[in-house]
Amino acid sequence: MRQHVEITLASLKRMFGVGKTLATTLTGLATRIVAKIAAYTYAFLVNRTFG
Protein backbone atom coordinates (compact mmCIF):
# COMPACT_ATOMS: atom_id res chain seq x y z
CA MET A 1 0.00 0.00 0.00
CA ARG A 2 2.78 2.43 0.93
CA GLN A 3 4.45 1.89 -2.44
CA HIS A 4 1.21 2.85 -4.24
CA VAL A 5 1.01 6.07 -2.26
CA GLU A 6 4.61 6.93 -3.06
CA ILE A 7 4.09 6.22 -6.77
CA THR A 8 0.94 8.34 -6.79
CA LEU A 9 2.66 11.25 -5.05
CA ALA A 10 5.61 11.04 -7.44
CA SER A 11 3.25 11.08 -10.40
CA LEU A 12 1.39 14.10 -9.05
CA LYS A 13 4.68 15.86 -8.35
CA ARG A 14 5.79 15.28 -11.93
CA MET A 15 2.39 16.17 -13.42
CA PHE A 16 1.88 19.40 -11.49
CA GLY A 17 5.53 20.44 -11.40
CA VAL A 18 5.49 20.80 -7.62
CA GLY A 19 9.23 20.22 -7.48
CA LYS A 20 9.78 23.35 -9.60
CA THR A 21 7.55 25.79 -7.74
CA LEU A 22 8.94 29.23 -6.97
CA ALA A 23 6.92 29.66 -3.79
CA THR A 24 8.84 31.14 -0.89
CA THR A 25 6.38 30.30 1.91
CA LEU A 26 4.38 27.23 2.85
CA THR A 27 1.15 29.15 2.22
CA GLY A 28 2.39 30.14 -1.23
CA LEU A 29 3.29 26.55 -2.01
CA ALA A 30 -0.13 25.31 -0.89
CA THR A 31 -1.83 28.02 -2.96
CA ARG A 32 0.12 27.06 -6.08
CA ILE A 33 -0.62 23.36 -5.62
CA VAL A 34 -4.34 23.99 -5.13
CA ALA A 35 -4.41 26.28 -8.19
CA LYS A 36 -2.69 23.65 -10.33
CA ILE A 37 -5.06 20.92 -9.17
CA ALA A 38 -8.07 23.16 -9.83
CA ALA A 39 -6.80 24.01 -13.32
CA TYR A 40 -6.19 20.36 -14.10
CA THR A 41 -9.65 19.40 -12.85
CA TYR A 42 -11.28 22.17 -14.90
CA ALA A 43 -9.36 21.15 -18.03
CA PHE A 44 -10.42 17.54 -17.47
CA LEU A 45 -14.06 18.61 -17.14
CA VAL A 46 -13.94 20.74 -20.31
CA ASN A 47 -12.22 17.96 -22.21
CA ARG A 48 -14.79 15.45 -21.03
CA THR A 49 -17.71 17.76 -21.86
CA PHE A 50 -16.59 18.63 -25.38
CA GLY A 51 -14.90 15.37 -26.21
State the CB neighbour count (10 A cutoff) for residue 5.
9
pLDDT at 19: 67
Total number of residues shown for the chain: 51
Q: State residue 21 phi and psi, 5-degree precision.
A: -65, 150
Q: Which domain holds residue 20?
A: 2-50
Residue 42, pLDDT above cutoff 70: yes
In this predicted structure, the answer to whether residue 11 has a pLDDT above a threshold of 70 is: yes
Nearest one of 10, 9, 17, 8 to 35, comparing CA atoms: 17
| Count of structural domains within the chain | 1
CA distance 49 to 13: 26
**Cβ(41)–Cβ(17) under 8 Å?**
no
| pTM for this entry | 0.58
